[in-house]
Structure 1
Amino acid sequence: MQFGLYQQQTTSLVMTQELRQAIHLLQFSAQELATYIQEQALENPLLDVKELPGLAEQTYSTYSKAFEDQTSPIDYAHIDRISLSEYLLQQVQELNITKKQKKELVYLVYSLREDGYVSRPLQDICNDLQIALAEGEKLLQTLQSFDPAGVGARNLQECLLLQLQRLDTPHIIAEQVISLYMEEFASRKWKDISKKLSITLADVQEVNDVIQTLDPRPGSQYISDPVQFVRPEIRIVPYEGDLLVHIEDDLIPSVGLNHHYEELLRKEQDHEATHYAKEKIQQVQWLMKSIQQRKQTILKVGEAIARHQKDYFLNKKGNLNPLTLKEIADEIEVHESTVSRATTSKFADTPRGIIELKSLFSSSIQNGMGESASSRSIKDWMKEIIASENKQKPLSDTKIVSWIQEKKDITVSRRAIAKYRDELGIPASSKRKRFE
């Protein structure tokens, strides 16, 4: 090894500011892009933004006021954003109790988590309030009598019991099972429970059906995050047996150069002002070009997806064809990451409803003849099979594999079936079995 000066020629990829901005904008949703444009307008006086009617009032992507003469179901939607604590405090004020008790109940309300459970040990709360534990228990019982049923519980078992006690028709067996054999019930050791309580497996099955109607997180319905609506950025429309794809231009404000400021700055004799004007003009031009490039890329990707999934869009019973990001990238001659950015958080209005572009991609599984089926199709078959199975003898993953092999001539591993079943939220056959 020795020190020295050497001359070497290499090639490397250098991202220009323009390219970096184009990539940055491509991954934005329509509303995020609109917000970004507004932020740029605050920093650049030469950026002229022609805001669309109603765009400023959109929380995510709701119907524009440009279409006020048209009605939508969203116009009639009532969004109740009251929080759990607000709802409980209203009930506290309706009680005929002393001011001291109300203050203590208010403190207890603010000691709840968003899901409705008590966030700390009751003894700690009693210490804060400087009251005895027995008095704290009475306060908690008062809170647990509020709506929604189950609020103020210290654990899941207590939450379920509170809800069972509030049912219109009392279910004594369910209360016994949850209070005495909660762990066995959760582990589906139903035969042990039936022996201990001298009841049938059908009775335990009925308990399970009742428990399924309860809410393990009673406060979650009152979490006051605003409801987010989306508007599709592209539309896929059937036309004479084919599909037309076009971009919705009304979601993003129009961007241009503010010629008034441009003239004023150009007339300035100050060299610094002239340099500033040139820099800001270049930023506007870059932004305009990036927005146009984003639009063209999304349109190309949408058109390519529509061609591949034509049968799915035109036929109500059509299945998604296997499709990967790489296939679309190769077809429109861009990088795979570009297709990923162009489909994430981008929605399309299609004959099948509003769909995220990303969800139209599906992995491929081949049969013995070289024909392929998408993983989405296999999931649809699985839902169909499981929905029609004998509930007393549910199909195992191995039997589902055999059915798909026999009926569809597609070879799928048992592990893949188990994975798809988990993704669909379908329990294993032992947990789907019914005893009635």
Structure 2
Amino acid sequence: MKPSLQLKLTQHLALTPQLQLSIRLLQLSTLELEQELENYLRDNPLLERQEEYAQSGSLPGSDGRDEGADRETAEDHSEQPYADDDSWPVEEASYLASSGSFDDEDNDYQDVQAATISLREHLLWQLGLMNLSERDRALVRCLVDALDEDGYLTQSLEELAETMPAELAIEPEELQAALNHLQHFDPTGVGARSAQECLLLQLQVLPADRTRTLAMEIVSQFLELLASHDFVKLKKQTGCDDEALRAAHLLICSLNPRPGAQYAASDTRYVTPDVVVRKLRGQWSVSVNAEAFPRLRINSLYAHILSRQRGSGLAVHLQEARWLIRNVQQRFDTILRVAQAIVDRQRQFFDHGEVAMRPLVLREIADLLGLHESTISRVTTQKYMATPRGIFELKYFFGSHVGTEAGGACSATAIRALIKQMIGAEEPKKPLSDSQISEILGQQGIVVARRTIAKYREALSIPPVNLRKSI
């Protein structure tokens, strides 16, 4: 076989740097996008934020003037061909002008961080007010350091005594005395070694009456029966009637089994919606949230220098800045298109709530917009819309479905809403079982198996029928 040369024509998809940038920006959340842009602003001298619009409260192109004429005027006076040419293209200005913005009364997304104090600091402050010896103070302080974030002492006093230096000769009895001091601190119940002890500590400080006496008896002896809602056995064991048991039950439920949780550091995450949904002239309309849209432009000074020094190393930065501005624009344009398509398909949800949610899959939106299904997946992940019914991730509007007797389909979200409605309206003394809920839905033409009902109920964090039964 002799070697030979052959020419072949083949087609393949090449991921250009601009396409790679577009895909990467599209899959980022708003917070991740902001962090990515900060990196570009730090590394690229030709890229800057358009701060004057943020300060003035207006958006580019929103004053109705001809932006092209403004550019020509700027070029005539400053002789800087790049001064405003890439700050915001005409289509970007009109896009922002049509996007709208939150009214002052609707803009509730500012981060508010309250000053907090830790449980340890709160307890040590109370310790400083007590008239104790230095040894007793040190022992109480050791117990405070041993508490978990809920305020419980998870180690036994014997184990704690063994961890102390041997030369101090600390006895468990001394630690018990220190624990007695700690258990009188605020919040009531702190320093407990079990949920049972925590509830008893809180009951002991309440005024003495028949209800408190019965509640203490239940907590100390029959807490497991109460947890399983076995009220028949509880009445038999305590000899009380329905009214007394109901009052004791309500009292126990009002207690706090996690007294230290209110001082725990909370990992609060704030969501900035990418789009806003409003009803205008009877139609649901989607607009980009101006607070989430980054305002970028080309630095006019460096662009002017570059225009006079051909071959400068800044040319690469200029091209990168142009790509970034266009891709940020394209990102929000794609999010807006997808969000509007979702709203058009889920109009009944916005009018009537979750019970009216219709089945929807990514393929349906992809075919409608002429986009790939993976693109829709990127757009709907970690992107949020603010609606009159709350803030939702775009992916929330997609989901599985079950069949109906009429041959149609019902969204799993709508079924969960129906289950929640039925359980919310059930008779507390005779709650609905999963089988009964399945039968009721079947009467409405929605065929759902009992095990599916159980799965949806658990997803809603609704306990089973035996735990929902009340006195």
Q: Calculate the TM-score normalised by the size of structure 2.
A: 0.77
Counterpart in the other structure of 1:124: 159
Q: Separation in 1 of the partners of 2:105 and 2:283?
A: 28
Match for residue 142 of structure 2 among 107, 112, 116? 107
Q: Separation in 2 of the partners of 1:430 and 1:388?
A: 16
2:175 is the counterpart of 1:136: yes
Q: Separation in 2 of the partners of 1:169 and 1:302?
A: 59
Deviations 1:240-284 (A, max 9, x none): 221221112332331222243355567779x8xx45x34333332
Whichever of the two has the greater Rg, that structure is 2
Q: Separation in 2 of the partners of 1:45 and 1:106?
A: 54
Match for residue 374 of structure 1 among 381, 398, 411? 411
Does the C-alpha gap of structure 1 residues 78 and 165 become closer, same or farther in structure 2, counting only changes over 3 Å?
farther
Does the C-alpha gap of structure 1 residues 127 and 237 become closer, same or farther in structure 2, counting only changes over 3 Å?
same
What letter matches 1:144 in structure 2?
Q
Does the C-alpha gap of structure 1 residues 115 and 340 become closer, same or farther in structure 2, counting only changes over 3 Å?
farther
Q: Separation in 2 of the partners of 1:344 and 1:404?
A: 32
Q: Separation in 2 of the partners of 1:141 and 1:389?
A: 45
2:463 is the counterpart of 1:427: yes
What letter matches 1:224 in structure 2?
A
> Contact between 1:115 and 1:220, CA under 8 Å: does it hold in 2?
yes
What letter matches 1:314 in structure 2?
D
**In percent, how many aligned pairs have the same letter?**
35
> Contact between 1:31 and 1:251, CA under 8 Å: does it hold in 2?
no
Does the C-alpha gap of structure 1 residues 249 and 154 become closer, same or farther in structure 2, counting only changes over 3 Å?
same
Match for residue 367 of structure 2 among 312, 327, 330? 330
Within 5 Å, give how 1:64-103 maps onto structure 2. 79-103=114-138
Q: Calculate the TM-score normalised by the size of structure 1.
A: 0.82
Within 5 Å, give how 1:29-44 maps onto structure 2. 29-44=29-44
Q: Separation in 2 of the partners of 1:140 and 1:69?
A: 52
Q: Separation in 1 of the partners of 2:372 and 2:252?
A: 50
Counterpart in the other structure of 2:439: 402
> How far did residue 142 of structure 1 move?
1.8
Q: Separation in 2 of the partners of 1:6 and 1:167?
A: 96
> How far did residue 303 of structure 1 move?
0.5
SS class of match (1:399): helix
Instruction: Structure 2: give runs of 5+ residues left out of the alignment.
Output: 56-100
Counterpart in the other structure of 1:414: 450
2:213 is the counterpart of 1:178: no
Q: Separation in 1 of the partners of 2:184 and 2:106?
A: 42
Within 5 Å, give how 1:4-43 maps onto structure 2. 15-43=15-43
- Number of corresponding residues: 416
Q: Separation in 1 of the partners of 2:113 and 2:36?
A: 29
SS class of match (1:151): coil
RMSD of aligned Cα (Å): 3.5
SS class of match (2:371): coil
> How far did residue 403 of structure 1 move?
0.9
SS class of match (2:265): coil
Match for residue 203 of structure 2 among 164, 168, 179? 164
Match for residue 254 of structure 2 among 207, 213, 217? 213
> How far did residue 180 of structure 1 move?
2.2
> Contact between 1:160 and 1:178, CA under 8 Å: does it hold in 2?
yes
> How far did residue 322 of structure 1 move?
1.8
Q: Separation in 1 of the partners of 2:26 and 2:162?
A: 55
What letter matches 2:292 in structure 1?
L
> Contact between 2:399 and 2:413, CA under 8 Å: does it hold in 1?
yes
